[in-house]
Amino acid sequence: MNTLPDAIREGLRAIAVGINPSLPSVRAGYCFANPRNRFWPALNASRLVDAPLEPGPDAIRALVEHYGIGFTDIVKRPTAGIAELRAHEYREGASRIEGLVVRLAPAVVWFQGAQAWRAFARHMGWAVAGRVAWGPQPWTAGRSRVFVTPNPSPANAAYSLPVLVQWFDALAEFLPPLDRRAVE
């Protein structure tokens, strides 16, 4: 299957978990390649980075290597929309994410959107009912804390860019400080 590989390593401050790769992202070879996706504008306006990043593979590498933020998806199969995904894919993906988190022990598992968060929470046996509360969650995955933000996808227009930036800033405050000595 042609998909986006995980952009992860040990010692991350956060692993960002999306639902699944978009077809434009797989074609471009990096996360959030759809020009209508608000991830890059929200990231660049937030305190997660100290200088704007130009969307592309180099920016993903910089996020992993310099900022300690990695990327994966619950489901690795790319689709035009999440309606194409099946329950067994969410189950299998959540199990895979649990294994990654236990093995890599990031400080934070950052779920981008309610769908990815609910799939993982169900797998872990956590009761997440009703409206998702954005921000820190009361559970841990292995030793990793959990943080949930609205999905920046253009399909999730209910959350404006300024709201996304607020949640990205809240995540920046929640993350452990960046160890500049480790990346210089």
How far is CA 25 from its chain centroid?
Answer: 14
Residue 140: CB atoms within 10 A of its CB come to 13
Let me know: does 8 contact 14? Beta carbons within 8 Å. Answer: no
pTM of the model: 0.92
N- to C-terminal Cα separation, the chain = 36
Domain of 135 in residue numbering reads as: 14-183
In a domain, 4, yes or no: no
Report pLDDT digits (tens) over 114-140: 888 988 888 888 887 788 899 999 999
In a domain, 1, yes or no: no
pLDDT, mean of residues 146-155: 91
Is pLDDT of 183 > 70? Answer: no
Structural domain total, the chain: 1
In a domain, 78, yes or no: yes
The more confident residue out of 53 and 115 is 53
State the pLDDT confidence band at 166, using cuts at 50, 70 and 90: very high
In a domain, 2, yes or no: no
In a domain, 28, yes or no: yes
Q: pLDDT over 70 for what percent of the chain?
A: 97
E-strand stretches of the chain: 14-18, 69-73, 108-112, 135-141, 144-149
In a domain, 164, yes or no: yes
In a domain, 103, yes or no: yes
pLDDT, mean of residues 25-42: 94
150/127 Cα distance (integer angstroms)? 19
State the pLDDT confidence band at 45, using cuts at 50, 70 and 90: very high
Let me know: does 165 contact 180? Beta carbons within 8 Å. Answer: no
The more confident residue out of 183 and 90 is 90
Which pair of structure tokens corresponds to residue 71?
């990327």
Query: What pLDDT sits at residue 180?
Result: 62
Query: What pLDDT sits at residue 184?
Result: 47
Compute φ and ψ for 68, nearest 5 degrees: 70, 35
Which pair of structure tokens corresponds to residue 122?
């169900």
Which pair of structure tokens corresponds to residue 119?
């799939």
The domain that holds 53 is classified in CATH as 3.40.470.10
175/171 Cα distance (integer angstroms)? 6
In a domain, 94, yes or no: yes
The more confident residue out of 172 and 122 is 172
Alpha carbon separation from 23 to 2, 33, 79, 100, 151 (Å, rounded): 10, 9, 6, 24, 17
